[in-house]
Amino acid sequence: MVSTRDSYIRDREAETLADMFGANGLRRRSVLGGGLLAGAGFAGLTATSLSAHAADAPAAEITVDQARTDPIPIVIPSFGPGVGEQITQVLTNDLSNTGLFKVIPGSAVSGTPDFGPYKAMGARAAVTGGFSGSGSVRVEFRLWDVLTQQQIQGTAYTTNSANWRRIAHIIGDVIYQRMLGEKGYFDTRIGFISRSGSIHKPRMRLAVMDQDGANCRMLSSTQTKLPAFSPVRDQIAFLSYASAVPRIYLFDLASGHQRIIGDFNGVPLGPHYSPDGNSLVVPVAKGSGTELYSVNIASGAKRQITSSGGAINVSPSFSPDGSQIVFNSDRGGSPALYIMSAGGGAARRLSYGQGNYGDSVWSPRGDLIGFTRISGGQFSLGVMNPDGTGERIMTQGYTVESPSFCPNGRVLAFSRSAAGASGAIHTIDITGFHERAIPTPEGASSPTWSPLNV
């Protein structure tokens, strides 16, 4: 097959993988002792409410759109020396990187703060808190509304000292939710392909990291590609050539165990999860075409859900309610986005812009579909409404691909590369602002965002 940038959809999806993962898994959720914080996603953490002198105030009524225009000034103090200062830095970075908060450094304060200086700084909210302990540690924080001088939230976390970074992310998520009225996304991870070696023959290993680039772990020792994070489990689906027959594998990050999801009469490509995590949609290439198959994860049963007479159907993504699938197909003559029932059947074309469309991904909020497009040798990343209207481009580049939404749908991760470069993972707000690169040890591509607190 002739490889050109305009034919990247077929070439990229058809790349094969090599070798099975090793036996060692990532035990990120395993910690020592203690109780369980409901919803926090790992054992060994207790959370205790810190009551205010008055009843806890309701969350400040600030919308995300308001915060984009006028970021919320918030005072973040030092949580103390050593680990306390590291918590302060992670929390500051989490909030600042959203573009929705303007962090004002503050001195360590416990109890009720003096609101006068905070008002003079123009602060809308303030945090007080501290860190204590060594093996078993306690992190306290209180969130205050500076204008009403009332406590919005107060919590003390007790856990193993190794979990200090996750505590910082959890505090950031609490602040995000209490100030903006929707869940945060800081206590999440991103699976991706770590790339090293030459551009033309790279070494490509599956890796996972925190959403800010910390705690990066390599999960495979040899070639991998096209991962997908489960929306409900600590699990990644991927394609491997552990033998002469290409197969879909599931990798459990907590145990390190992996298993095969059957065989296909053709070459399976990158898997994609249903919202309940119980099934996968897998493009399967056979002859000149590629059809989509639904695969039950428990039983391995497979069912073909497209039948397009030799067309290439790839990059499927479910709607949040699981009722529909958006995908890319060249059935109309050139690659475009289509939508159909999750059970299969007739498909309706969504995209009509100039150029060839590539990746598609449905926002977990249900309000947008992210996509890539190539026109005139230029890649673009954009979003549109689920009915195909309102298409807008957020960023462009030599290569821009593999979009993946964060759990609250406010940010997209994607891979960006320049000519001759191995690429990097970037994130961007759905408005097209606050693009930034996530640091990785090597070149990186194909990000897949985890759910919150798996």
Q: End of a domain among 180, 207, 224?
A: 180
Position 37 in a domain: no
Can you say whether residue 94 is alpha, beta or left, with left for phi > 0 and alpha for psi between -120 and 50 degrees? alpha
Give the whole-angstrom CA distance, residue 394 versus residue 354.
Answer: 16
pLDDT range class, residue 57, cuts 50, 70, 90:
low
**pLDDT tens digits for range 141-197:** 999 999 999 999 999 999 888 899 999 999 999 999 999 999 999 999 999 999 888
Q: End of a domain among 120, 147, 180?
A: 180
Query: Strands 411-417 and 424-429, how do they pair?
Result: antiparallel
For residue 144, the number of C-alpha atoms closer than 13 Å in the C-beta half-sphere is: 28
Residue 245 has pLDDT above 90, yes or no: no
Give the whole-angstrom CA distance, residue 358 versus residue 402.
Answer: 9
User: Are 249 and 325 in a shared domain?
Assistant: yes
pLDDT range class, residue 201, cuts 50, 70, 90:
confident
Residue 90 has pLDDT above 50, yes or no: yes
Exposure b/e, 222-255, CB count within 10 A at least 16 = b: bbbbbbbbbbebbbbbbbbbbeeebbbbbbbbbe
What's the rounded mean pLDDT across residues 56-64? 65
User: Are 284 and 252 in a shared domain?
Assistant: yes
> Which tokens go with 87?
């918590």
Residue 88 has pLDDT above 80, yes or no: yes
Going by C-alpha positions, the residue among 371, 275, 249, 367 that lies closest to residue 315 is: 371
pLDDT confidence of residue 41: 40
Contact yes or no for 157/47 (Cβ under 8 A): yes
User: Are 59 and 113 in a shared domain?
Assistant: yes
User: Are 23 and 77 in a shared domain?
Assistant: no
Position 83 in a domain: yes
Contact yes or no for 170/157 (Cβ under 8 A): yes
Position 40 in a domain: no
Position 351 in a domain: yes
Residue 15 has pLDDT above 90, yes or no: no
Give the whole-angstrom CA distance, residue 454 versus residue 40.
Answer: 8
User: Are 110 and 204 in a shared domain?
Assistant: no
Domain count, the chain: 2
User: Are 205 and 155 in a shared domain?
Assistant: no
Position 61 in a domain: yes
Residue 384 has pLDDT above 50, yes or no: yes
> Which has the higher per-residue pLDDT, 379 or 34?
379
Position 316 in a domain: yes
Residue 96 has pLDDT above 90, yes or no: yes
**Domain limits at 66?**
46-180
User: Are 326 and 288 in a shared domain?
Assistant: yes
Entry pTM = 0.87
pLDDT confidence of residue 44: 65
Q: End of a domain among 180, 213, 248?
A: 180
Mean of all residue pLDDT scores within the chain:
85
**pLDDT tens digits for range 228-242:** 999 999 999 988 876
Q: What is the CATH number of the domain that holds 135?
A: 3.40.50.10070
User: Are 317 and 433 in a shared domain?
Assistant: yes
The neighbour count for residue 420, using CB atoms within 10 Å, is 7
User: Are 349 and 300 in a shared domain?
Assistant: yes
| Residue position matching structure tokens 């993972």 | 425
User: Are 240 and 201 in a shared domain?
Assistant: yes
User: Are 221 and 333 in a shared domain?
Assistant: yes
Going by C-alpha positions, the residue among 99, 67, 58, 82 that lies closest to residue 137 is: 82
| Residue position matching structure tokens 């690659």 | 335
User: Are 318 and 364 in a shared domain?
Assistant: yes
